[in-house]
Structure 1
Amino acid sequence: MKKFILLLGCLILSINTAFSQQIIPLWHDGVPNSQPTEVTEIHETERILWIEQVQKPTLEIYLPAKAHATGRAVLILPGGGYRGLAYDWEGTDFAKWFNSNGITAFVLKYRLPISDSVVESHKAPLQDAKRAIRTIRANSKNWNLSEDQIGVMGFSAGGHLASTLGTHFDHEEVIEADSINTLSARPDFMILIYPVITMKEPYGHDGSRNNLLGENPDEAMIEYYSNETQVSENTPPTFLLHATDDDAVPVENSLMFYKALKEKGHQPEMHIYPEGGHGFALAIGHDHLEGWTERLYDWLETLD
């Protein structure tokens, strides 16, 4: 019987490897900052895969063919205003694009602060993002990755979470230590796509701020999560993309972050398109905006 179980385990592993895609739990010994509830996760698939009330955060792994794997990896954080996750639109679709360029990708299904299962709302998304980077780094040899080429990509509110990870990675957190949590949570680069950056008026995105911090946050919390104020010399290399006519998350979010990076001695790359609105993702069918992923690929090549 033991031999059968061992053979079955090897078969499952080989199947997962053959498809180069699997989903793993982010936390193995209980999810921190959580409490039991009767809430269940919601999946809607009318136009895109939209997920709410995440209960068990996971990493979905996309491995390119070994023959052209570059050793680089990207953690992808879908947007959704900290209310939900545009999981395929700003997640798995991009994982496949990265794979086509030899880059390993991980889509994070992170907890949302408005879930009843979260105890301290504002902490949960960042706890999951830090854990995800550390998990990738801890398994870098198994996934044929370079430990110093693990970046993060975020869209809209996911861009806020990505920029929070890039500016708060070394902030103290009270989580029971294990071998993974001792590793660095600093991403080696950041890709911020029409990101929410500030929590301040007049350019903050009200929905993201209210969902993350509550409707009446104190000034200290607003300052802490206004990431243009949190940039340091150790903030990772950054790629920014926005559209001027974005009427949901004003382009000033990217402009302020660019300015803050420059003031700290960084040389970020930023592309501002005149039209595109908000949430255009791959921008398929959007004329010259559709070529933005080529600009991203070119920038990634400069990181070598």
Structure 2
Amino acid sequence: MRILSSSFCSLLLCSLVSAQVIAADDSAAYKPIEPKPLIAGHVVVPLFPPGHPALKAGPGSDQEEKFNINNGKVGAVTNIHNPSIEVYLADPAKANGTSVVIAAGGGNNTCNVGGEGTDIAAWFNSLGVSCFVHRYRLKPYVSAVDALLDTQRAMRTVRARAEEWKIDPNKIGHIGFSAGGEQTARLALTFDEGKSDSADPVERVSSRPDWIVLVYPGWVPGSLSLEKVPTNLPPTFLVCPGTGDVFHAQQTVEFYNALFETGRTMKPKPLNIEMHIYGEGKHGGAISARQGIPYGKWQLRLAEWATDLKLLPEAK
């Protein structure tokens, strides 16, 4: 069993007194339903084995995940009780070793794995980046506890299987959109180096992302502690529209400021942290043209930033 920090345990205890908490009395006997692929032919990897203490037999766990189909493809998923990653490896002819875990948004009520998941994987794959589309647990699970455990486990799982998937274990990123950005932020603030004495080989591996991207991120105000941040922060890219998405823009800037104060004094050189707040634009939309406004090309700025970090090769 994983040993949790005191602050993490406090969050867990708070969640247990909530009216929305999921009973876990039968977790030891709980055998979760295997998640189905979002796109036929892709491998889905459940993050926890059956009987793992992180899994809970909550309301609806005896039913399959619910897929919302849009234009013939899965646009969103709900009823997630068996968190997973779905594997989208880059074409070997293009693969450069860089990879990323993708966390879609949806207000912790749904996981918008279409536009903010499989579409993002297709774009990264075109750049030679392998991807892992994450399905994390939603309400009434707790984003700061259950979903965060899923996020940390996703990072460990990818790194533990790096050789199998032919990726560089030191170039694994995490990108989150909206509520998925909350998971990216929490991961950046809580990662650890793993527990070398764990009986679980996955738990021996670091959960630290090597780079992170937050796209119009959001969390419940005051729920994210930014007073103290790790001194070995990963390079960070943040993007959001401005006055057209005030709530998320303010949180994007808040997160940037919190990291900046630590990052500017990091050794041997300051943290590479870049933020883009666009003058026009609205919340959501992932990668889309947005009727030609500059915000419709934010992904090009991300590619430039990643190239500067040697995560992507220089264009020929």
Match of 1:145 among 163, 167, 177: 167
Map of 2:261 onto structure 1: 263
Quick one: which amino acid aligns to residue 289 of structure 2? Answer: I
The question of whether the paired residues in 1 share the 8 Å contact of 2:217 and 2:248 is answered with no
Offset of residue 198 of structure 1: 6.2
Match of 1:241 among 232, 239, 242: 239
Offset of residue 80 of structure 1: 0.9
Q: Deviations over 1:226-250 (max 9, x none)?
A: 3x33422212110000101244633
Question: Aligned to 1:286, what secondary structure does the other structure show?
Answer: helix
| d(CA) in 1 for partners of 2:92, 2:137 | 32
Q: What's the C-alpha RMSD, in Å, of the aligned pairs?
A: 2.4
Offset of residue 121 of structure 1: 6.3
TM-score using structure 2 length: 0.75
Question: Aligned to 1:105, what secondary structure does the other structure show?
Answer: strand
Alignment partner of 1:45 is 2:66:
no
For structure 2, the residue ranges without an aligned partner over 5 or more in a row are 1-36, 265-270, 311-316
Quick one: which amino acid aligns to residue 118 of structure 2? Answer: T
Match of 2:279 among 263, 274, 278: 274
Offset of residue 46 of structure 1: 4.3
Map of 1:232 onto structure 2: 230
Map of 2:50 onto structure 1: 29
Alignment partner of 1:99 is 2:121:
no
Question: Aligned to 1:298, what secondary structure does the other structure show?
Answer: helix
Q: Deviations over 1:60-95 (max 9, x none)?
A: 111111111010000000011111111111111000
Question: Aligned to 1:240, what secondary structure does the other structure show?
Answer: strand
Q: What is the percent sequence identity of the aligned residues?
A: 35
Q: Deviations over 1:199-239 (max 9, x none)?
A: 23xxxxxxxxxxxxxxxxxxxxx3xx23x334222121100
Offset of residue 187 of structure 1: 0.3
| d(CA) in 2 for partners of 1:77, 1:121 | 12
Would you identify which runs of 4 or more consecutive aligned residues in structure 1 move more than 4 Å? none
Map of 1:160 onto structure 2: 182
Alignment partner of 1:179 is 2:179:
no
| d(CA) in 2 for partners of 1:251, 1:289 | 13
TM-score using structure 1 length: 0.78
For structure 1, the residue ranges without an aligned partner over 5 or more in a row are 1-15, 201-221
| d(CA) in 2 for partners of 1:250, 1:146 | 32
